[in-house]
Amino acid sequence: MAQIPGWSNLPKNAALAIDFVIVGGGVAGFACAIALRRVGHHVLVLEKDATFPSISSPCPMPPNLSKILFHWGLKDELRKISVEIANNIRLRSTEEQLGMQIWDKEVLRETGGEFIFAHTGDLRRLLYDVAVAVKANVRLGARVETVNTDAQTVTLSTGEVLKADVIVGCDGPSGITRQVLSTTQEECDDDLSINMNMCCTTILKTLIMKDPQLRELYDHDIVRTIVSRGLHAHIDGQAPLKYWVNRFMVVMGAAVHPMPPGSVQQCALTMEDGAVLAKLFSHLHCKDQIKSFLSAFQDLRQLRCAAVLCKEARIFHYMKAEPGELQQSSDDMTWAKEQAHAIGILDAMGDLEENDIHKQIETVFGYNAEDDADNWWVTWGLLRERARSDSSESHMGEVAGTKNLRD
């Protein structure tokens, strides 16, 4: 029998399998479903749309994302829908070439993943197919109208009520699960505000090839990025939420830690969310652990997402620099690397900058979501289990002693 995609390198199954209802069938929802099925839990995914859109936005997949899919045994399937990104040329609006950025393959290999690009729709379809293959129950065209965290139920637009041990919100920044959380809290202070809006869209190749200036983009075997002063348009966004858990409901992905459009880590963080949640719940053996695991999930992921958002903010800060000293300094550095024959992203740099970039690659691209969850379990989870066990034994001894006295 052929290996089921997504069923490789399986961790141990949870001693107690429980019911999860996932609200939202995007990348976050299907990735979470696959991860939970890999450790033996029962999963129902509710997606409001009956079909998937035919056109979608581009999806950069850095090593910390691709390594998760590789670990799940999806490398071959991912290859079919993606292209590997080796380098990048950046141009000013004057069409002056600034430089070439090359991702050192040895450096990326150390992270366990690759830097690749795909369409979000293709990635979503792949994850959907895998989720179905690993026996997750997926219902398309199922719109969730209300969520009751006390009763652990969701009510569909049809009036149908579904109950779960854990409700997982993966329905984005405008979804119902974020609304439920928002009624009990305020959004985080805007300390990490990027003060930048970016629009992402996809233009058909057939249209680009009809334009004499744009068709040059396809004359090269590398990705070309045009950097210039663009138009301004207002886009309403959402700030991160302070609390991600409400009783037996947890919300993840863009619903609680939205990233700016165009962020390299936008899909990666949502994929990490699902991997961490599932790895924590692989240790489940009694329902008393559920709230502890949900709390641990927020503790682990909130710190990670805030750190990544801060790094992404620095990138956007340089991208949106107006003509002047900051912009010129960035251009000069890029041009200097180009003059050094662009032999690598870590070459032609001083020791300080090189060390800083190595550190960023290690902490951002080298991050392993499942290892992070395992570290929590070894450091804190087992201690809590021992404390719980000691408390239970002490209580049983007291009860037994009382019974003996009565005898």
The pLDDT value given to residue 405: 30
Q: What is the pLDDT of residues 379-391, one digit of tens each?
A: 998 888 887 766 6
pLDDT exceeds 80 at position 32:
yes
The pLDDT value given to residue 101: 57
Give the CA dihedral 197, 237, 294, 272, nearest 10 degrees.
-30
Average pLDDT over residues 161-173: 97
- Lay out the sheet containing 87-91: strands in order across: 97-102, 87-91, 223-226
Query: Rounded distance, CA 360 to CA 354, Å?
Result: 10
Which of 46, 50, 53 has its CA nearest to residue 139? 46
DSSP structure class, residue 171:
S
The C-alpha angle with vertex 118 and arms to 219 and 266, in degrees rounded to 5, equals 120
- Which amino acid makes up residue 321? A
pLDDT exceeds 60 at position 347:
no
Query: Rounded distance, CA 73 to CA 61, Å?
Result: 16
| pLDDT tier for residue 8 given thresholds of 50, 70 and 90 | confident
The pLDDT value given to residue 402: 38
The pLDDT value given to residue 54: 76
pLDDT exceeds 70 at position 179:
yes
Average pLDDT over residues 178-196: 64
For 327-343, letters b (16+ CB in 10 Å) and e give: beebbebbeebbeeebe
* CB neighbourhood size of 93 (10 A): 10
173: its two tokens: 């920044």
| pLDDT tier for residue 199 given thresholds of 50, 70 and 90 | low
The pLDDT value given to residue 106: 72
Is the CB of residue 381 less than 8 Å from the CB of residue 283? yes
Is the CB of residue 172 less than 8 Å from the CB of residue 254? yes
* CB neighbourhood size of 26 (10 A): 24
360 vs 193, 201, 301, 316, 364, CA distance in Å?
21, 28, 18, 16, 6
pTM of the entire predicted model: 0.81
pLDDT exceeds 50 at position 247:
yes
| pLDDT tier for residue 346 given thresholds of 50, 70 and 90 | very low
- Residue 387 burial by CB count (10 A; 0-12/13-18/19+): exposed, middle or buried? exposed
pLDDT exceeds 70 at position 256:
yes
Counting every residue, how long is the chain?
407
The pLDDT value given to residue 235: 47
SS3 211: coil
pLDDT exceeds 80 at position 301:
yes
The pLDDT value given to residue 36: 98
- As a whole number, the mean pLDDT across the chain is 79
Query: Rounded distance, CA 188 to CA 237, Å?
Result: 13
The pLDDT value given to residue 333: 58
The pLDDT value given to residue 343: 43
pLDDT exceeds 50 at position 149:
yes
pLDDT exceeds 80 at position 318:
no
How many CA atoms lie within 13 Å of 288's alpha carbon, on the beta-carbon side?
7
pLDDT: is 314 or 339 the higher one? Answer: 314
Average pLDDT over residues 296-312: 90
Residue that the structure tokens 């829908």 belong to: 81
State what percent of residues in the chain have pLDDT above 70: 68
pLDDT exceeds 80 at position 339:
no
Q: What is the pLDDT of residues 70-125, one digit of tens each?
A: 999 999 999 999 987 655 555 555 555 555 555 667 777 788 888 888 989 999 99
Pick the most confident of 105-114, 252-261, 289-298, 338-347: 289-298
| pLDDT tier for residue 406 given thresholds of 50, 70 and 90 | very low
Average pLDDT over residues 177-181: 92
The pLDDT value given to residue 152: 97
The pLDDT value given to residue 371: 93
* Least reliable range by pLDDT among 31-35, 83-87, 148-152, 235-239: 235-239
Taking each continuous run of H as one helix and of E as one strand, the counts in the chain are 13, 15
DSSP structure class, residue 371:
H
Average pLDDT over residues 218-242: 61
The pLDDT value given to residue 351: 46
326 vs 43, 317, 330, 333, CA distance in Å?
50, 10, 6, 11
